[in-house]
């Protein structure tokens, strides 16, 4: 396989490493299938889209919490040992 094709395939597959991208893709595929093939009600279709949006929001909140926790821990390390907060978990 040529390097150009490998590079193109890598660029197409790379976004699928993100959980948010995979959820968004699955949500859109599910919504289109429900709309075109299953003839479901509008409420069901909106439920599929709402569930996908809520899931993406939950993942984004989880990611933001991890980044925030790392920033707080790094700031704590800059303090002298007697001024550091105890780890409570």
Q: Does a structural domain hold residue 75?
A: yes
Q: Does a structural domain hold residue 40?
A: yes
- Token output for 37: 């093939």
pLDDT bucket at 69, cuts 50 / 70 / 90: low
* CB-count exposure of residue 55 (10 Å: 0-12, 13-18, 19+): middle
How many helices and strands, by DSSP H and E, does the chain display? 3, 0
Average pLDDT over residues 58-77: 71
Sign of CA pseudo-dihedral 11, 16, 55, 73: negative
Domain that holds residue 48: 20-83
Q: Does a structural domain hold residue 45?
A: yes
pLDDT value at position 88?
54
Number of domains in the chain: 1
pLDDT over 90 percentage in the chain: 2
Q: Does a structural domain hold residue 7?
A: no
pLDDT value at position 9?
87
Q: Does a structural domain hold residue 57?
A: yes
pLDDT over 70 percentage in the chain: 74
Q: Does a structural domain hold residue 27?
A: yes
Q: Does a structural domain hold residue 14?
A: no
> Closest Cα partner for 23 from 54, 63, 64?
54
């Amino acid at each position: 396989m040529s390097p150009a094709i490998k590079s193109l395939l890598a660029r197409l597959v790379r976004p699928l490493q993100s959980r948010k991208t995979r959820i968004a893709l699955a949500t859109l595929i599910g919504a289109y299938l429900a709309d075109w093939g299953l003839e479901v009600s509008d409420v069901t279709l909106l439920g599929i889209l709402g569930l996908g949006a809520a899931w993406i929001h939950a993942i984004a909140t989880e990611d933001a919490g991890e980044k925030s926790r790392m920033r707080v821990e790094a700031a704590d390390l800059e303090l002298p040992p007697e001024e550091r907060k105890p780890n409570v978990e």
